[in-house]
Structure 1
Amino acid sequence: MRGVYMPAMSMTENIGFPFMKMHGLGNDFVVVDARVQDIAITPALAQGIAHRQFGVGFDQLAVISNGAGDAHLTFYNADGSTSAACGNATRCIARHLMLETGKDALHLTTDRGDLYARDAGEGLTSVNMGQPQLDWQEIPLAEEMDTLELPIEGGPTATGMGNPHCTFFVEDADLIPLAEFGPRYEHHPLYPERTNVQVAHIVGPDHIRMRVWERGVGVTLASGSSSCATAVAAARRGLTGRRVRIDLDGGTLWIDWREDGVWMTGPTMHVFSGTLTAEFLDSLR
């Protein structure tokens, strides 16, 4: 696997590796560029960088490497597990690569598959997250069932966006104690790979309020793949159309489920660039 941690590195060499801190609506990322430096991200390293007191802090870590398109992206959760998709991180990195190359459209590859990004104007970046996975085996669920309404209290909808999602439509998303509610369903036996959990209510025919508990992370201010999954679930249930505004704790995303996939549009931010020291890296061995 390509990554940034070089086993031969020692404190006496006074060498670290560079990273970028980015966020999409407060959904924050550490991004490392492995196109010019070979690195191996281990679960221990990811967990160490993720720690908000002893490391840098992130919801996801993303690695940029060379790929069949403009770049390949690999994602890690704060608990060191991997994820095939991360929509907001993809948008952040796409914006970075557009500024780097001068391109206004990109072809990115991920474990989810080929993703296409473009400059949406006014500082916004769009990414096509691909078609949603609606069959129980693709999500995946533990057994065959209708994914529109699961046999779980509250009748949530299951959707795959390269990672599994469980969306509850409630009367008021802001009243749900998400820190208690989320882990109860992240580990539900119907989801053998665990799941992201969303609570959402319908504001209008093209407007949703949504909050998210991310698998392997916890409560986050936003989630791109969760926003896509919630928009798809709302459209399938006839609660909204296929083009919606989603208000999250960290801001707003616009989701458009088209014939070619689920497009997500929103702002990004490159907060700062830094270097992880050899001392810090050695402490994680």
Structure 2
Amino acid sequence: MAIEFTKYHGLGNDFILIDNRSSSEPVITPEQAVKLCDRHFGIGADGVIFALPGENGTDYTMRIFNSDGSEPEMCGNGIRCLGAFLADLEGDAKKSDQYRIHTLGGVMTPQLMPDGQVKVDMGIPRLLAGEIPTTINPANEKVINQPLEVAGKTWDVTCVNMGNPHCITFVEDVATIPLEVIGPQFEHHPVFPQRINTEFIQVVRPDYVKMRVWERGAGITLACGTGACASLVAGVLTQRCDRKATVELPGGPLLIEWSQIDQRLYMTGPAERVFTGKID
């Protein structure tokens, strides 16, 4: 059986998008997703995203398999790519420039902007230790500037859940961080029972930061939308950042705003179609 797909990327964070609207379950398995994501023997991607029928009154449902076959709750760059993909699927007949999408991390609303960017209402960040989840703070309070021993060094970390778990630490120079060594040690640290995405942040100005990321289940990626949102929240909580800032990732910039009015996170960035094809 041949399955049509379209490849998109958001700042270099790339995904295989599959029209799965005729079924409530993904049409390929996690094991097959691993093979498709292989950059030498497959298509090559950080994950496979499925557009499924909506649940609980939403327009669509998003499921995603990472390149290692695991399933995350949500993906910020992926939801922008999914919004653009849905607009392409609906074509000229589409009645709306925004979609309410059910994810394992909650309902997300990507909106296609006139300039081609995609703005997403990412919801309200969750900050209690049990919501991350992490055992760093057994009192189930917020985890802000807490010490964590990783790779023989003590790091001050702040934890945020943006529908998926994030651990943020601020450094002098993100370019000097050996991500391939330290990233896996953060991801699999025993204080994170569901593993963790880890962001290393260099504050250039309160409205401009640089970020590198180790993603749970995908490793080093060029961008992470939920990570950029979590990092801004951590910057505000530690009084390093404004509530609206540009987050510069290896793949390019995202504009993140933590609204003081409704306490929701808004992420704006690109989603670009790369090519289409068929999987045998």
TM superposition score normalised by structure 1: 0.88
Aligned to 1:159: 160
Q: 1:256 to 1:39 in 2, by over 3 A?
A: closer
**Secondary structure of the residue that 2:123 maps to in structure 1?**
coil
Kept after mapping to 1: 8 A contact 2:17/2:85: no
Count of residue pairs the alignment pairs up: 263
Kept after mapping to 2: 8 A contact 1:120/1:265: no
Aligned to 1:96: 85
2:42 aligned partner, one-letter code: G
Give the Cα separation in 2 of the matches to 1:234 and 1:39: 37
Aligned to 1:7: none
Aligned to 2:45: 58
Give the Cα separation in 2 of the matches to 1:40 and 1:18: 11
Give the deviation of 1:113 after TM superposition. 1.2
Aligned to 1:105: 98
Aligned to 1:149: 145
Aligned CA-pair RMSD: 1.4
Cα deviation 1:77-113 (Å, max 9, x = unaligned): 1110101110111011112223422522221111111
Give the deviation of 1:260 after TM superposition. 4.9
**Secondary structure of the residue that 2:253 maps to in structure 1?**
strand
Give the deviation of 1:170 after TM superposition. 0.2
Aligned to 1:235: 236
Give the Cα separation in 1 of the matches to 2:33 and 2:79: 18
Kept after mapping to 2: 8 A contact 1:49/1:57: yes
Give the Cα separation in 2 of the matches to 1:24 and 1:39: 22
Choose from 22, 29, 53 the match for 1:36. Answer: 22
Which structure 1 segments of 5+ residues have no match? 1-14, 278-285
Identical counterparts, % of pairs: 39
2:12 aligned partner, one-letter code: G
Are 2:209 and 1:213 aligned? Answer: no
Aligned to 1:268: 271
Aligned to 1:182: 183
Give the deviation of 1:57 after TM superposition. 1.4
Cα deviation 1:40-79 (Å, max 9, x = unaligned): 4322112111111111111121110011322110111111
Aligned to 1:83: 72
Give the Cα separation in 1 of the matches to 2:6 and 2:22: 15
Give the deviation of 1:39 after TM superposition. 4.4
Cα deviation 1:106-154 (Å, max 9, x = unaligned): 2111111111121233111001111111011111013525411233112
Aligned to 2:9: 23
Give the Cα separation in 1 of the matches to 2:85 and 2:4: 15
Kept after mapping to 2: 8 A contact 1:49/1:56: yes
Aligned to 1:5: none
Aligned to 1:48: 35
Kept after mapping to 2: 8 A contact 1:98/1:106: no
Cα deviation 1:207-242 (Å, max 9, x = unaligned): 110011101111000010111111110011110111
Give the deviation of 1:29 after TM superposition. 0.3
Give the Cα separation in 1 of the matches to 2:144 and 2:112: 33
Give the Cα separation in 1 of the matches to 2:263 and 2:5: 33
Choose from 73, 80, 96 the match for 2:62. Answer: 73
Give the Cα separation in 1 of the matches to 2:26 and 2:78: 19
Give the Cα separation in 1 of the matches to 2:67 and 2:133: 22
Give the Cα separation in 2 of the matches to 1:39 and 1:196: 24
**Secondary structure of the residue that 1:199 maps to in structure 2?**
strand
Give the Cα separation in 1 of the matches to 2:6 and 2:187: 29
**Secondary structure of the residue that 1:171 maps to in structure 2?**
coil
Q: 1:248 to 1:141 in 2, by over 3 A?
A: same
Cα deviation 1:164-214 (Å, max 9, x = unaligned): 111110001111111112111111111001101111110101111001110
